[in-house]
Each structure stands twice: as structure tokens, then as C-alpha cells.
Amino acid sequence: MREMGNKNQKVIEVSELLNKLPIHKERIVNAKFRNPNGVSMKLNNFKAIDPRHNGKGMDRYSKLDEEVFFEFQNDTIGLSRIAENIKKTVSDSKLVKSLYQIGNDLEEDIQVKEGKVIYKLHRYRERNYTLNKKKKDNYFKKHGKLDCEICGFDFFKTYGEIGKGFMECHHKIPLSQTEGEFSTRLSDLALVCANCHRILHRELDTSDIIGLKQVIISMKSKLNTK
Ligand SMILES: [Zn+2]
Ligand SMILES: [Zn+2]
């Protein structure tokens, strides 16, 4: 228990890091927010959850603590990659500033295993206007239309002139798998309609284009057999 106390240098470092995360609308003026004591308590909650841990932890943990623990207990590589990405992000003050500007939209209904910082990074990567335009131009040249790669929706077909050229870009490579630079290639992007994009983001860690395409196909065939 002692080694994870609030005087532990590592605990203090984590506390400082958590206070720098660009996920809150305004800087929280609350000395207790994720302070070393809170971090220490959380770590001891995990001890209580960990079946491999002998001895006691603090067993007043939440359902979410439990979910987080079991999600990552056998994926320490994935977990440390996520942590590295978050650390790298926080150390880049220009990036942090940009992330603050990304609204907390969708926040209530998304489940992001990697956490809000990674989610914001994902949105940030998708906001590259020049790259998105290039992607759309290339696609249009090749296919003569701009339709959703998942459901086939074509904004121009439905809305006419006002929908012309409209399509969102989704970044296919999960940030948890990214190492090094966060640079984006055209082939990393998929063109998706606003509906499909939102659904993809409800569960960022399982967001794959082919998977969602199959969901739509199987839902359609269910409807047809009724
Ligand atoms: Zn779609
Ligand atoms: Zn996306």
C-alpha cells in the first residue's frame, strides 16, 4: 500500500499529467482534482480489483474502475502505447491548444476505451482540410461521384446542389496503434456519411469500415426475411 502513496514520485507525476489533459472546457480550479491522493486511491482501487494481488486494496471502487481494469489487464502493451500517446500529446503545447478547441461533442454517447484525449486526437487528425479535399477529389475523379464507403449514401443525389461535395473523412488507423508521428496518408482516410461516421465513433476501438458495412447488410437481410 505504501509504495503507491501520495508521496510517491511516480504518483505525483501521473497527477501532474492528468491535470494537463486537454479535455476540460476550462481549467478546473480545484486543488483536489486528480491530486496525488486521488491518484493513489485509484491505484489502490485497482489492487482491490486485481485477482492476482495478495493483500488488501481499497475496495470502494466503481463499476467503471472494474471495466477499465479488465479491459487492459492482459493488454499492457496496448495500454502503454495509449499512455505514451497521451504523454506525447500533453508535451506538445501547440497540439494541446488545438485539442482544447475541439468541442466535447458526442461526449455523452461515445464509449472510448482509449479515453477522451485519444478521441480528441482522432477528431483532430480528421480535421485536415487540405488532405480531406484531396481525398474527396481523388475519389470523385475515380468514381464520378462522392458516396459513403459504408452505406453508399450520396449527398448530391439526395440534396442536390446544396449537398454537392459534402462527405466526411474518417481516419481508419486507431490512435492506439499509432507509434511515432501522427501523420496521415490519403489511404488512411475513408469517405463516410455523417450518420455512418457518428456510429463508427460510438465505439472508437472497434471502428472499422468493413465491420459496419456488414452490420448494415445483415440488418437489411433480417428486414427482408420478416
Ligand atoms: Zn454512410
Ligand atoms: Zn472518424
Ligand in nearest proximity to the CA of 196: 1
Looking at residue 215, the DSSP 8-state letter turns out to be: H
DSSP β-bridge partners for residue 189: 171
Percent of the chain with pLDDT over 90: 25
Give the pLDDT band of residue 226 (cuts 50, 70, 90): low
DSSP H helical ranges for 19-115: 36-49, 63-72, 76-90, 93-101
- The Cα 57–Cα 45 span in angstroms is 6
Task: Give me the pLDDT at residue 124, please.
Answer: 85
The total of other beta-carbon atoms located within 10 Å of residue 45's CB is: 20
- Give the environment of ion ligand 1: residues with CB less than 5 A: 148, 150-151, 153, 193, 196
Is a pLDDT exceeding 50 seen at residue 177? Answer: yes
- The Cα 20–Cα 90 span in angstroms is 7
Backbone φ, ψ for residue 111 (5° rounding): -115, 105
Cα(182) to ligand 2 centroid in Å equals 15
Ligand in nearest proximity to the CA of 213: 1
**139: closest CA among 203, 93, 198, 192?**
192
Ligand in nearest proximity to the CA of 189: 2
The pLDDT tens digits for 19-64 are: 888 876 555 556 677 888 888 888 888 988 998 888 777 778 888 8
Cell of 145: 461521384
Q: Give the relative orientation of helices 116-125 and 76-90 as an angle to the nearest 10 degrees.
A: 70
Mean residue pLDDT of the chain comes to: 84
- The Cα 159–Cα 48 span in angstroms is 56
Cα(226) to ligand 1 centroid in Å equals 24
The pLDDT tens digits for 73-90 are: 888 888 888 888 888 888
166 Cβ neighbours under 8 A, 6+ residues apart = 146, 155, 156, 159
Its pTM stands at: 0.73
Cα(148) to ligand 2 centroid in Å equals 13
Q: Give the relative orientation of helices 63-72 and 36-49 as an angle to the nearest 10 degrees.
A: 70
At 27, which amino acid appears?
R
Give the pLDDT band of residue 1 (cuts 50, 70, 90): very low
Ligand in nearest proximity to the CA of 150: 1
Cell of 53: 494481488
Distance linking the first and last C-alpha atoms of the chain:
59
The pLDDT tens digits for 120-157 are: 888 888 888 899 999 999 999 999 999 999 999 999 99
Give the pLDDT band of residue 110 (cuts 50, 70, 90): low
DSSP E strands in the chain: the ranges are 168-171, 189-192
Half-sphere exposure of 80 toward its Cβ, with a 13 Å CA cutoff? 3
Cα(53) to ligand 1 centroid in Å equals 46
Looking at residue 75, the DSSP 8-state letter turns out to be: -
Looking at residue 3, the DSSP 8-state letter turns out to be: G
- The Cα 225–Cα 80 span in angstroms is 46
Strand 168-171 with 189-192, pairing? antiparallel
